[in-house]
Amino acid sequence: MKFQPDRLDGVNVISRHDAGRVWVNATEWTSSVLVPWRGDIVAWPVASLADLTATHFEQLLALQPELVIFGSGAKLRFVSPALQRALIERRIGVETMDTAAACRTYNVLASEGRTVAAALLIEAPG
């Protein structure tokens, strides 16, 4: 599915996604990725939901978001709140949805000027 969002200068945009990949600012990513509203997109070293640890969510702290949109892959799956503790303790909101919905939601929030980050789990198709 291709998106055509309004674009603010300097704001990262998820321009497209499909099974096993996502395009941010026209760059294709085939593995999990962290997308801050501004700044560098960062590879997120997690291959599956089962591999997630608290350290993966702590990586988001450096991005200083007010809200994190967690894309859990092709299906909506929740992780333990203990894994998100570092974010919760700093009063950073965390919303979980499937990756397709996370891409759409991130774009809407980023286009509104919100300090949002998307943590997108991209699992190898199989």
Strands 21-24, 14-18: pairing is: antiparallel
Cα–Cα dist 42/59, whole Å: 10
- Residue 96 in tokens: 């979980």
Residue 9 falls inside a structural domain: no
Q: Is the pTM of this model over 0.85?
A: yes
CATH of the domain at 27: 3.40.1230.10
Residues 6+ apart with CB under 8 A from 17: 1, 23, 99, 100, 103
Residue 8 falls inside a structural domain: no
Domain that holds residue 108: 14-120
Q: To the nearest whole percent, how much of the chain has pLDDT over 70?
A: 92
Residue 87 falls inside a structural domain: yes
Residues 6+ apart with CB under 8 A from 10: 38
Which of 56-72 are b and which e, b meaning 16 or more Cβ less than 10 Å from the residue's Cβ? bbebbeebebebbbbbb
> In this predicted model, what pLDDT tens digit does every residue of 21-79 receive, in sequence order?
999 998 999 999 999 999 999 999 999 999 999 999 999 999 999 999 999 999 999 99
Residue 113 falls inside a structural domain: yes
Q: How many independent structural domains does the chain possess?
A: 1
